[in-house]
Each structure stands twice: as C-alpha cells, then as structure tokens.
Chain A
Amino acid sequence: MKRILGFLRRVRGEGRARTDGGTAERQSTTERWLDSDFVRSAPFWGPPFLLMGFFVYAAIGWNFLLSLTDFSGFGEPDYSSLSLDNYWTMLQDPGIWAATRNTFVLLVAFTLACLGVGLLLALLLDREIRFGRTLRTIYLLPFALSFIVTAQFWRWMYNVNDGIVNQVVGVFGLGPYNWLGSPRLVLGAVIFALVWQFSGYTMVIYLAALRSIPTDQYEAARVDGANAVRMYRRVIIPQLRPAIVSASVVLVLFALKAFDFLYATFDGYRPRRGADILATKMVREAFGRSEWAYGSAIAIALFVLSLAVIAPYLYTQYKRGNL
C-alpha cells in the first residue's frame, strides 16, 4: 500500500527532490506540463508547421482524394464515388509510359552529367589559381537564372538556321541539326542545356567538401608515395561521398522541375515528341485539357517518384545524426 501511494505520488510528480536549489513551492502536473520543452517550443515551430502542413501535406492528401474521383471540367468534384480508375487509365496510356521513360532518362543522365562536370570544375578550381573566386562566380552564374530565362537563351543557341550549336558542330563537318525539333535529339539537347545551368551548383557543393578534407590526409598519402591518380581515388573521392549524395538528391529535384524549362522552350504544355516528361504531361492533362482527376493521378505518381529519393535521403541524414 505504501509502495502504491509512493508510486502515485511519483507519477503526479509530488515530493520529488529538487536539485536546482530553486523556489520552495511545488509545481503541479499542469504547471510542469506548461513548462515542458514541448509546450515552450510549440509557439515557435507550431505556426510555420501549420502553414506548411496545410499547403504541403494536406494538399497532397487532397490531391490523392481528387485522383480517385472523375473530376473533369467545371463544377465541384464528386467525392461520393471513389475509384482507382485513373490509375488503370494511366497504366494503359502509352503517353504515360513514354513520359515515364523520358523522365528517367532525364533524371539519370542529367544527374550523372552534373555530378561529373561539377567534379571536373571543382578539381580544376581547388588549387592555387589566379582569379579562382571570379571563375567560381562565372561557372555558378547560370544557376541564379530562372528556367524560363535560360530556356530563351538555349532556344537561340539551338536555332536551326544560325544557332551557335550548329555552327560549332559545323566546324567538325556535321549538321546542321534541328536540335529541338528532332525526337531523337531533343531530350539530349534539353539535358545539355540543363547541365549548363546546374553543373555550377554541383561544383560549389564539391568545393565545400574538398575544403573540409583535413590537410594531414594529403600529407599521409604523399608520405606513402601516392601519385595524383591514387590521391584522387583513395583520398579525395571517398571524402566526397556525402557531398555526392546530397547533391544528387537536389539535382533529381531540379530534374523533376524541368517542366518550366520545357514549357518555355516549346511555348506551352506540349513539348516536341521525345521530350514529354511526367511533369509536363501532368500539367497538360490538368490545366490544358481540364482532366483534373487524371492530372492528380499523374501528380501522385510524381510524388511517389520523389518519395523514392526523399526517404533514403532522410534515412541517411537520420543515421548521421543530422535531423
């Protein structure tokens, strides 16, 4: 009985020894709850969380609900009869498969090319060179521009009649090609322009990582008689792994946003054959053809695709104690 009473008292937080030498009066449970970390910190993260939660997570939930309706055209969506019809339609839509294939090609080729070009830029700049800071600024410059802006420049570059790209390949006796008009070339041309815009971003990520490699690691490798190639393979590249992971995650995200670039390059929702990606298909179905529910279903597919990137990223961040 005495034990039970003691337990109850402990649960209610009574009679606990105070070690802070503070005031004598006891705190009630409510007071302690009001004083807890959760309650004291909630006014700070709560309002931003509600705002973001509503527009991001509630919106995704709503989007999923919409994808189960047959909402198209005007009026209110009918939530009384829900079905997976839109997802079955997706599976049978050849346009979806082409767009999915293009999305993956774009994601993989763009990410790998940016990682490669960015590494080259970073290794070139990470040494004693004059104007290193200016060069970094120039290589990162396209990143500060909007997709809509860079699309205008590259349309001009790829121009069939007198575009610079055709003049350059002309030097090698090739072309002229209709870069943005040919189904076989268009995706490559888009990826090349996007690499121009984003390789500077990868470079900056690498440079930060390279600068954080302790000097004694180079010393140790040199004492062991490592040449430059071994130095890169054994010391530098392994140290860059976290940078490569975080850069790839962000690059995939940019690739998913390539919609803006395609919209501006092709003056609307419909890119040339060979350049349609899920993002353009989604906006075209929803906003171009008013197939809202079908567009929402494609949006869910895109969301799942991005989850495949987010989840492993969050998990590694959690493991490394970065959350």
Chain B
Amino acid sequence: MSEGSVSMGQETDDETAFEGATARRVGLYATLIGLVIFYLIPIESGLVTSIKTSQALINTQPFAPPGPDGVTLEKWAFAFDALGRGMVNSLLFTIPSTLLCAILGSMAAYGLTLVNWRGQIAVFALFIAGIFIPYQAVIVPLTQFWSQYAMLEYRLGLLLTSHQATILELVITHTAYGIPICTLLFRSQYKTMSWEMIEAAKLDGASVWRVYKRIVLPLSVPMFAVVFIFQFTQIWNEFLFSLTIIGSVSDPAASATLILSGLGEALEGVDYPLRMAGALLTALPTLLVYLLFADKFAEGVQV
C-alpha cells in the first residue's frame, strides 16, 4: 500500500522538529498495532478456544493460549465429522456457479460495451440494480418455484438424485444472482479497453464472436482472476439461499454455513469450543483464497 501512495506524513515530517516527528511516528505505530489486535482478537480467541481441553478452558483467559497440557484436537475432529459433507456440498455448488457467472458476466459486459442502441443504458441499469436487490425480496417465489413448479426432482428423477437436484438448484440460483456484479466488474474493464484494435479486427472481417474469443477474452484474464476470487468468497459465504432452498441441516445437500449455524447446540447452552472449530473450518477455504490473493481480493472489492 505504501508504494505509489502520496506520502503526506513523510513530507510534513521534514519540516517539523525531529523529536516531534519521532513521537508522532511512535503514536502512529501504537495506533496501528492496537488496531491489529482489535481486528485479530475475535479470530485468535476462536482459535485458542477451539483447541483447549475443558480444564484449560476454565483455567485460562479466553484469548490466552492453553498451555502445553491443555491442548486437544477433539473439537476439531467433531467439527470435521459434522462439517465434512457440508464442505463438499459447498464446493460442489460454489465452483460451478463461480465459473458460470464469471463467463456469463464477461459475455454480458462485452455485449453491452459493443452496442450503441438506445435501450442499452436501460438494460445495463437493470443488470446493475440486480446487485442491490435484497435476497428476502425473492426468496418466497424462489422456494415456491424450486419446490413446486420446476419439479426438477420429478422431471429429472431418473437422472438426478434429490441431492444432485438441490445442488443444481443452488448452482442456477447463485449464477443468476452473481451475474449482475460480474457484469459490472467486467464492464468497468471493457470500457477502458482499446477499441481501435477491435475496430481494426472488424475491418479485417473478424466476427463479433471471433473478436471476443481472440482479443477480449485473452485481455480479460486478470479480471477473471479478480472475479473468481470475489465470487468464490461471496457464494461460499452465502447463507439465506442455503437456509431456504436446502431447508434443513439434516438434508444430504446441506452447505457448510447451514450446518455451522446449527452446530453444537446443547440444552444448557452452546458448545463454544466446537462452534469455534466449526467456524474456522468453514472459513478455511475463503481464508486461504484471501491470504493467497490478498491484493486481487482488495481489487475485486472496489466495485
């Protein structure tokens, strides 16, 4: 972040007394480290809690490490048992819908950048507005549709098991809802693309499909990476569609977030260590993506 940014602090430092500048610098770093603690402590506390024995849980502070004898992976094993199938299910619908909405979003953005007719702005506005529709506004018709009208389970009953049908429903739903944001991201790039080259190709007799395949797609590879990372995270983390379309934690197609929401409920309260292990396990795929591609992720966030 520091590269290329305007270094206001640095330049005013040159003009002030050296000691004042040092004191301010110390204050700055103290603030920054305080903030690091604030942003990390809930996650850190979850991590240490999930590996504590019940004795260590009573004897130590919630943010303190358990000590050498107080470590157990028991809760992680439980969480892994409970969430394993959910993690597989989540991957099964997250990966196809991420790929699909990236491709469809790129096509829509190309089509809308290509055109010059009057309705184009209205169509694009409908695409963008789709980003901001709360899921609650569609969730009743959607469950009605999937349970009664589409009858995927009946029509394809011979081809698909009900587990596969539910996964397919989730893929289609997530794709439909991912298209708007993907279209916006791709179009922001396509608008700044060099269209002279494309015009030249068209004069040489290249069709729109050829231009898309040979020129636009290769140029949008970096944007595809951004969209993949962003959409993967969004769809993996989604909960309301899982809750309403899958319907029940015990369904064989239950997603990771759905299973986590009901994990470790006991009569006398909540099994916090188990919940913490489950939460971290559920977060693992997006955490990995995030930490490996932090810069791309930040780029994707800037809608």
Comparing B43-51, B67-75, B159-167, the segment that makes contact with chain A is B43-51
Asked if A196 and B39 sit within 8 Å, CB to CB, the answer is: yes
- Tell me whether B183 is interfacial, beta carbon within 8 Å: yes
Asked if A47 and B104 sit within 8 Å, CB to CB, the answer is: yes
Interface residues on A, range: 35 or more
Asked if A152 and B12 sit within 8 Å, CB to CB, the answer is: no
- Tell me whether B115 is interfacial, beta carbon within 8 Å: yes
> For window 106-148 of chain A, which residues contact chain B by CB distance below 8 Å?
121, 124-130, 132-133, 135-148
Asked if B2 and A149 sit within 8 Å, CB to CB, the answer is: no
Asked if B301 and A41 sit within 8 Å, CB to CB, the answer is: no
What's the minimum C-beta distance from A122 to chain B, rounded to whole angstroms?
9
Asked if B133 and A60 sit within 8 Å, CB to CB, the answer is: yes
Comparing A86-94, A183-191, A310-318, the segment that makes contact with chain B is A310-318
B266-286: CB near A (< 8 Å → 1, else 0) gives 000010100110111011001
Contacts of B148 in A (CB 8 A): 76
Contacts of A140 in B (CB 8 A): 294, 297-298, 301
A226-262: CB near B (< 8 Å → 1, else 0) gives 0010010000000000000010011001001101100
Known: A66-B141, A211-B6. A152 touches B302 (CB 8 A): no
- Tell me whether B135 is interfacial, beta carbon within 8 Å: yes
Contacts of A286 in B (CB 8 A): 139-140
Residue in A52, A300, A323 whose beta carbon sits within 8 Å of that of B176 in the complex: A52
Known: A66-B141, A137-B294, A146-B286. A314 touches B208 (CB 8 A): no
Asked if A138 and B129 sit within 8 Å, CB to CB, the answer is: no
Which residue on A lies nearest to B258, using beta carbons?
A148
Number of A-B contacts (CB under 8 A): 332
Known: A52-B127, A127-B9. A156 touches B46 (CB 8 A): yes
Asked if B2 and A132 sit within 8 Å, CB to CB, the answer is: yes
Q: Give the complex CA separation of A110 and B60 in angstroms.
A: 33
Contacts of A249 in B (CB 8 A): 132
| Chain B binding surface, main DSSP class | helix
Asked if A145 and B286 sit within 8 Å, CB to CB, the answer is: yes
Asked if A144 and B290 sit within 8 Å, CB to CB, the answer is: yes
Q: Give the complex CA separation of A300 and B134 in angstroms.
A: 10
Q: Give the complex CA separation of A246 and B41 in angstroms.
A: 29
- What is the total number of residues of chain B having a CB less than 8 Å from a CB of chain A? 109
> For window 7-45 of chain A, which residues contact chain B by CB distance below 8 Å?
36-38, 40-45
Contacts of B108 in A (CB 8 A): 44-45, 48-49
Which residue on A lies nearest to B183, using beta carbons?
A48
Which residue on A lies nearest to B116, using beta carbons?
A37
Which residue on A lies nearest to B36, using beta carbons?
A138
Residue in B176, B279, B286, B294 whose beta carbon sits within 8 Å of that of A56 in the complex: B176
Known: A164-B41, A249-B132, A253-B132. A144 touches B137 (CB 8 A): no
Known: A38-B117, A155-B275. A283 touches B46 (CB 8 A): no
- Tell me whether A178 is interfacial, beta carbon within 8 Å: no
- Tell me whether A105 is interfacial, beta carbon within 8 Å: no
Asked if A157 and B240 sit within 8 Å, CB to CB, the answer is: no
12 additional A-B residue pairs with CB within 8 Å, beyond A286-B140, A310-B132: A44-B110, A45-B123, A48-B108, A56-B138, A59-B138, A125-B32, A130-B2, A138-B40, A143-B301, A144-B233, A164-B41, A164-B62
Report 10 cross-chain contacts, Cβ distance below 8 Å, ordered by A residue. Answer: A45-B110, A45-B112, A60-B137, A63-B138, A124-B35, A133-B295, A146-B282, A148-B237, A152-B260, A323-B128
Top 7 A-B pairs, shortest CB-CB distance: A44-B111, A45-B111, A146-B237, A55-B176, A127-B9, A144-B290, A59-B138
Binding site for A on B (CB under 8 A): 1-2, 4-12, 28-29, 31-32, 35-36, 38-43, 45-46, 49, 61-63, 104-105, 107-108, 110-112, 114-117, 119, 121, 123-142, 144-145, 148, 172-173, 175-177, 179-180, 183, 208, 212, 233, 236-240, 243-244, 257, 260-262, 265, 270, 272, 275-276, 278-280, 282-283, 286-287, 289-291, 294-295, 297-298, 301-303
Binding site for B on A (CB under 8 A): 36-38, 40-49, 51-57, 59-60, 62-63, 66, 76-77, 121, 124-130, 132-133, 135-150, 152-157, 159, 162-164, 167, 196, 200-201, 204-205, 207-208, 210-211, 213, 215, 218, 222, 228, 231, 246, 249-250, 253, 256-257, 259-260, 263-264, 267, 278-279, 282-283, 286-287, 292, 295-296, 298-300, 302-303, 306, 309-310, 313-314, 317-318, 323
